[in-house]
A and B are shown apart, each in its own frame.
Chain A
């Protein structure tokens, strides 16, 4: 039995310990470890870790021209899901930082509708908007306002092995014109290498990526997901054909590894990078990585526009990232000054030549110095100009969920293309109905 006095002392110490712990947790944020420079305006910009170097170069020059502004770069989480969650949490809580948010091309309508972004109509003027690809600007526009400035543009391209294509007896410098041409060439290489090398590889895992791929097939077949009058038309015959083709690639034509239905983006790229596929559909970065020094595919690959369906168009899904201003930012004027600087022709050009990603301004793709370094850029621009956008709607993320689930069911054979697309159309209509404009 513990003596009463000792027990009393124990409780006093325990309570004091708990209280001091609690107090230190509460006071912690008020006394941050690093001091803040009170005189300078601090701007926070969030961006991808791998873009830090070129962006730091731009940002340093900006700071030299604006000595009263201090720019802090935040690293985004590596996956889009986490990035979206992080921003959704910060912005819905009304945080004032980051001042400039780095957003995916499918996020502006949702973020604008939620009231998280500052409209840029007066700042990002129509003459400037014309310098960017139409599809990008369309994706930034919602409710009659424009919400972000493109930072870099991306789109789906076809990458192929020139050596293998030549081996198969085709012209190595020309991509297949139609999807069936690609299937034919792919089947040829499978025959020739006894199944060692696949004809085609793309990510068909249950992720946003499969929606991007589908968009390319359906628009390439002259179909649409939601038409101009907001009718859901994804389950039109063109759409069903497109979805059926995705299934056939695996199960009928057998040009793509069946396990592609479990591949996320990088896993599909590894199959191509590991030399096990002739054709690959990916974003522009994959071509860059294939050509980097030390890559076994260096000099053996070429990139070009994606094939189309007969009578259709060479559709590419528009992707890319953009800069928007946080509505609760305390330094909106300065944030705009930074965005304007980053997106200027000269600053963008410098970053491109430093090895940054593809630019957003159309003119940069055909700039003399850029083309000298990257001769394939004009063909990218050709692809991107026929870019299509996923539905520009605040509830796109919920729609994307429905779409990726049903598409995944098609490619794994769980549902037929027609049934799945009908379910998808029902799901999309239900979501559209839930959304009521203010």
Chain B
């Protein structure tokens, strides 16, 4: 564990305090916080951060809303429940790169199925260039991410629902509580720890695996409109070979995700568990 986890982490932290550009191997040296200053004064970094937070925010909220609805729905008993449960899992079973490319072709303006359907239905006259503007591109990407990851969210939430004690509901019914009251006072509070754990996983996932979605989809374009942080770090490391700056951004990323994690874990608390 120590070897696989500690060594790369310490190495990255060390690189972030060094000037390190593979193309100029003779210019190595400890530069203290210089890289951090460079990164925090770089508009491209702030652009990337802003886009990533927006992307992660909407993805988490979207898949949470949808996922909790789905979980509540398939928690009921009805005919064909098993089939629905299996069908819901299909998007999550596909690799993100495959999903990304598949949707990219569907969104293609000339040959894509989405424009074809919209035009057939008469909703649009000319094909829409989905990946042409920054706004359209990022929201399309968010949609794809929600499509692909909601099954995971609904599965976790469903697991949380299934361990809720039924006798509480019966007692509440006897007391005359209606469905909405039962949901607010019984389901939600007991569900809270599972919801928070799900949000934690989903946030980390959206943050880190946005690369798998964005790279095949738009490569960070148009311009830099969909350049999420993992993609930015990848560019700095592998295209520009500026290991010093790249390590700095990587550390900043890790700190941000760490802050989220601490916040969520603190929110769960010990009181949340019955």
Contact = CB atoms under 8 A, between A and B. Distances in A.
B25 interface: yes
A168 B218 CA distance: 35
A164 B245 CA distance: 52
Contacts of B239: 81, 84, 397-398, 400-401
B223 A401 contact: no
B13 interface: no
Chain A CB within 10 Å, residue with most, of B27, B130, B223, B241: B223
Given A259-B129, A276-B110, A401 B240 contact: yes
Interface stretch (A108-116, A174-182, A238-246): A108-116
Interface residues of B, number: 32
B162 interface: no
B220 interface: yes
A405 interface: yes
B109 A261 contact: no
Contact of A115 (B25, B108, B111, B240): B25
Interface stretch (B131-139, B144-152, B189-197, B198-206): B131-139
B222 A114 contact: no
B241 A114 contact: yes
Interface residues of A, number: 38
A97 interface: no
A206 B222 contact: yes
Interface stretch (A148-156, A266-274, A328-336): A266-274
Contacts of A114: 22-23, 25, 241
A312 interface: no
A240 B268 CA distance: 57
B221 A414 contact: no
Interface in A303-353: none
Interface in A374-430: 394-395, 397-398, 400-401, 405, 408-409, 412, 414
Contacts of A276: 110
A390 to B, nearest CB: 14
Contacts of B24: 113, 394, 435-436, 438
Nearest to A91: B22
B91 interface: no
A207 B221 CA distance: 9
A186 interface: no
Given A114-B241, A398-B239, A409-B223, 10 more contacts: A84-B239, A206-B218, A259-B129, A261-B129, A262-B132, A414-B134, A414-B223, A435-B23, A438-B24, A438-B26
11 contacts: A88-B238, A88-B241, A114-B241, A205-B221, A259-B108, A261-B221, A262-B109, A262-B130, A412-B223, A435-B24, A436-B24
Interface of B: 21-27, 108-111, 127, 129-134, 137, 218-224, 235, 238-242
